[in-house]
A and B are shown apart, each in its own frame.
Chain A
């Protein structure tokens, strides 16, 4: 089996991640719910993971990292927490539904939403950002990299713009955490939302949110916190403010192991290896007749994601044949990014997405290239 769907979830997980989850299930108490050995061990593990992730992301204070279930929960927390009726928010056509759907919901509650268009390559021109500012503009929410094309947004430039105009910058790092090296302490990013199961190599069902010191995000859910039991209101201190209910301890343990794996291997090397695979695959498929590849490949850095179609052929059929006949796993369809597919003019066919990690090999990519060559010849002829 050749797994080229790393943007959906990373596979295989490093052995240390699996071991960490297994061991935690054997010995887990509930963090913050007692002072006996098992409970304290759980609290210590969570604190250790918080420190590890804060260090990995370059955050100034581990207490500014709260654990969530995934990037979607983090983004909901951020958007529903920060935006109120009468506010204006700017976003782009690059976004995943985890950004768009909360915004559509907020729009019904009186939030004004501007969506910047992407061009045919799926690239947004941010130079005109100033033209979209209003007196009530409060937030800019952006994905750091498109989950369809892999193209990245220049977050430093956008961040400086936000600083200059007093806007809160919320970043969806679902595809970039574990690929891009963050230095949040010195970054203009105010809120970073990430998932644990993609580039960070953790298990599914765990993610997190970073909130810059001085910025308060009210919780979406309230309840048990292990502190302030007799208060009628949920604690406001980070990170407990955003962590109502029992945390996913096995997931957090696995996520910490994933982050340690990345640190041990080195982010510079990982980024280099993944960019190399991205370039290698694009170089091999660009000349295949009958293929259309989406995105901007002149960009200096891209996430290792490539979306394409065999002209006129349903992407789901191509992905199905790749799986059934070649044992190559990809993701077809709309990738939860409807506006991006509008920009790429692929709403009807969707696209076949290939996504790589440093654990993939050029040998695997060669097999995928050959399969695409075969299918393009076969299906292309059938559609004539």
Chain B
């Protein structure tokens, strides 16, 4: 099975909101969704991207010094 989607997890709702605001302002890809059930994360929100968008997003997040939980690949 190949990776079909990638989600970024967060520690808190506030962290997810800060992430969304910064990504939108920087033109980075993705959108907020409810956390998929197979991931046990702290916050109920996740940031959804395609596998192709992953590298661009993570580099952008590092540039913006954004905090987040994990990057999880889903089949």
Q: Does B39 contact A (CB under 8 A)?
A: no
List, in ascending order, chain A residues with CB within 8 A of B40's CB.
230
A220-248: which have CB < 8 Å to B? 226-230, 235, 237, 239-240
Binding site secondary structure of chain B: mixed
Q: Which of A31, A62, A230 contacts B13 (CB 8 A)?
A: A31
Q: Which of B13, B18, B20, B21 contacts A240 (CB 8 A)?
A: B13
12 contacts between A and B (CB under 8 A): A40-B32, A43-B16, A43-B17, A43-B45, A47-B17, A62-B14, A62-B18, A63-B18, A226-B13, A229-B44, A230-B40, A240-B12
A contact residues vs B (CB 8 Å cutoff): 31-35, 40, 43-44, 46-47, 50, 62-63, 226-230, 235, 237, 239-240
B18-66: which have CB < 8 Å to A? 18, 20-21, 32-34, 40, 42-45
Number of interface residues of B (CB under 8 A): 18
Q: Does B11 contact A (CB under 8 A)?
A: yes
Kindly report which residue of chain B lies nearest to residue A46, judged by CB atoms: B17
- Contact B14 A47, beta carbon cutoff 8 Å: yes
Residue of A35, A230, A235 with highest tally of chain B CB at under 10 A: A35
Interchain nearest-CB distance for A238 vs B (Å): 8
Residue of A50, A228, A229 with highest tally of chain B CB at under 10 A: A228
Please, how many angstroms separate the alpha-carbon atoms of A173 and B33 in the complex?
Answer: 39
List, in ascending order, chain A residues with CB within 8 A of B18's CB.
47, 62-63
List, in ascending order, chain B residues with CB within 8 A of A235's CB.
12, 42
List, in ascending order, chain B residues with CB within 8 A of A32's CB.
13, 44-45
Extra 11 A-B pairs, beta carbons < 8 Å, given A237-B12, A239-B14:
A33-B44, A35-B45, A43-B45, A44-B20, A47-B21, A50-B14, A62-B18, A63-B14, A226-B44, A237-B15, A240-B14
List, in ascending order, chain A residues with CB within 8 A of B13's CB.
31-32, 43, 226-227, 240
- Contact A227 B32, beta carbon cutoff 8 Å: no
Please, how many angstroms separate the alpha-carbon atoms of A5 and B43 in the complex?
Answer: 43
List, in ascending order, chain B residues with CB within 8 A of A227's CB.
11-13, 42-44
Please, how many angstroms separate the alpha-carbon atoms of A229 and B34 in the complex?
Answer: 14
List, in ascending order, chain A residues with CB within 8 A of B21's CB.
44, 47
List, in ascending order, chain A residues with CB within 8 A of B44's CB.
32-35, 226-227, 229
Please, how many angstroms separate the alpha-carbon atoms of A33 and B42 in the complex?
Answer: 13
List, in ascending order, chain A residues with CB within 8 A of B12's CB.
63, 227, 235, 237, 239-240
Kindly report which residue of chain A lies nearest to residue B18, judged by CB atoms: A47
Please, how many angstroms separate the alpha-carbon atoms of A226 and B12 in the complex?
Answer: 8
Q: Which of A31, A44, A226 contacts B43 (CB 8 A)?
A: A226
> With A43-B13, A43-B16, A237-B11 known to touch, is A35 a contact of B34 (CB < 8 Å)?
yes
Interchain nearest-CB distance for B64 vs A (Å): 14
Report the 8 A-B pairs with minimum CB-CB distance, sorted nearest first.
A47-B17, A35-B34, A32-B13, A227-B43, A228-B42, A240-B12, A237-B12, A227-B42
Interchain nearest-CB distance for B33 vs A (Å): 6
Please, how many angstroms separate the alpha-carbon atoms of A227 and B34 in the complex?
Answer: 12
Kindly report which residue of chain B lies nearest to residue A40, judged by CB atoms: B32
Please, how many angstroms separate the alpha-carbon atoms of A34 and B21 in the complex?
Answer: 18
List, in ascending order, chain A residues with CB within 8 A of B43's CB.
226-227
List, in ascending order, chain B residues with CB within 8 A of A33's CB.
44
List, in ascending order, chain B residues with CB within 8 A of A63's CB.
12, 14-15, 18
Kindly report which residue of chain A lies nearest to residue B46, judged by CB atoms: A35
